[in-house]
Amino acid sequence: MREHLDQQLTRLNHDLIKMGAMVEAIIDKAVTSLKNQDLELAKSIYTDDDAIDEMELKIEKDCLNLIALQQPMAKDLRRIASALKIITDLERIGDHAVNIAKITLDIGNEPLMKPLIDIPKMAEIAQNMIKLSLDAFVNQDIELAKKAAEMDEQVDDLYDTVINEVFNYIQKDSKFLNQGIKLLFVGRYLERVADHTTNICERIVYMVTGERVEIN
């Protein structure tokens, strides 16, 4: 029974995974282009973000249609409501990638004050969080969602390290001030990416159990 609804829910799953993969990739691209000072790659992020925005609108429209036409109840309703919230967080992550790209373009070919290590690490963990959270969404796996959310702490710790390191550079020589502030922003954006992913994980717990939780 309700095969039609089930098919549409499966399609919603696929679209969310697709959007998640796009978001995971855009973060990777943003940090890679910064690290390698690849300005062409940074520019392409704008187009990728447009595609993410379009995907958000598509999923939102599909969710509203499902609610209007199928009158979903209980777990079906929670799944659709969660999807609506999750896409907002994913879309915001896309925006943060654009913010990072802006900084990359701003720094341009000016040499980096040091090779970037912790910022790419933050990005890597955040990407992994996104990936795990979407796996958790698809498999309705609350343990995996919690595990992904707990990784937020690692990102926060790295962010603290980045702040300290940049401060040290600036204290040593004020010529690092301009670029240092920009890199601090990059750290801040990545920290926000991890926070949005934590929101997604909390949504997944709600979707599966009907209970609202705050992880971290």
User: Which residues sit at the interface with other proteins, rule CB under 8 A?
Assistant: 1-2, 5, 71-78, 210
76 or 191: whose CB is closer to other proteins?
76
Q: Judged by CB, which is closer to other proteins: 9, or 170?
A: 9
Q: How far is the CB of 76 from other proteins (least distance, A)?
A: 5
Residue 42: φ, ψ to 5°: -60, -40
Assign 3-state DSSP to the chain and report helix, strand, coil percentages, each to 5.
85, 0, 15
Alpha helices in 1-117 (DSSP H): 3-35, 39-70, 74-107
Shortest distance (Å) from residue 210 CB to other proteins: 3
Minimum CB distance to other proteins, residue 78 (Å): 7
- Work out how close the CB of 71 gets to other proteins at its nearest, in angstroms, rounded to a whole number: 6
Tell me whether residue 4 or residue 114 sits nearer to other proteins (CB atom). Answer: 4
Give the C-alpha separation, 180 to 184, whole Å.
Answer: 6
Determine the Cα angle at 82 with ends 195 and 85, to 5°.
50
Q: Nearer to other proteins by C-beta: 74 or 115?
A: 74
Return the half-sphere exposure (C-beta side, CA atoms, 13 A cut-off) of residue 197.
Answer: 38
* Closest to other proteins by CB, 86 or 162: 86
- Return the number of the residue (160 or 210) whose C-beta is nearest other proteins: 210
For the bound state, the minimum distance from the C-beta of residue 85 to other proteins, rounded and expressed in Å, comes to 15
Q: Tokens 């912790």 map to which residue?
A: 118
Beta carbon of residue 208, minimum distance to other proteins (angstroms, whole number):
10
Burial class of residue 171 (count of CB atoms within 10 Å of its CB; 0-12, 13-18, 19+)? exposed
Region for 183 from its dihedrals, namely left if φ exceeds 0, alpha if ψ lies in -120 to 50, beta otherwise: alpha
Place of tokens 């598509």: 58
